[in-house]
C-alpha cells in the first residue's frame, strides 16, 4: 500500500517488481493531480493523471496519460457505486 501526501511533496516507493516510483500529488482547485515517474531498467516512464468528481458525485473521472516505449496511452473513467 502506498500513502501519498497531497501537498505536492514527493513520495518515493518500490513497486512489486522492484521498480522505483517518484510521485507527487496536489490539489488544483477541485481536481486531484498525480504526477508519477516510474524508474524501470534505466528508463523513466511518466504518468500524469487528473481525478475529478462530477457535480452529482456519481462519476469519478480519471484523465491521464502514460508514456511507455514511445507509445502514449489514455486512462479511463470510473463510475462510483453507492
pTM of the model: 0.77
Q: Domain coordinates of the chain in residue numbers? A: 10-79
Q: pLDDT digits over 1-46, tens only?
A: 888 889 999 999 999 999 999 999 999 998 999 999 999 988 898 8
CA proximity to 58, closest of 77, 34, 31: 77
CA distance 7 to 4: 9
Amino acid at each position: 500500500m502506498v500513502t501519498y501526501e497531497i501537498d505536492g511533496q514527493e513520495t518515493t516507493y518500490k513497486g512489486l517488481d522492484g521498480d522505483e516510483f517518484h510521485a507527487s500529488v496536489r490539489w488544483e482547485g477541485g481536481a486531484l493531480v498525480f504526477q508519477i515517474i516510474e524508474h524501470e531498467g534505466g528508463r523513466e516512464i511518466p504518468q500524469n493523471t487528473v481525478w475529478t468528481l462530477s457535480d452529482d458525485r456519481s462519476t469519478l473521472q480519471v484523465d491521464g496519460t502514460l508514456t511507455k516505449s514511445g507509445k502514449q496511452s489514455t486512462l479511463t473513467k470510473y463510475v462510483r457505486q453507492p
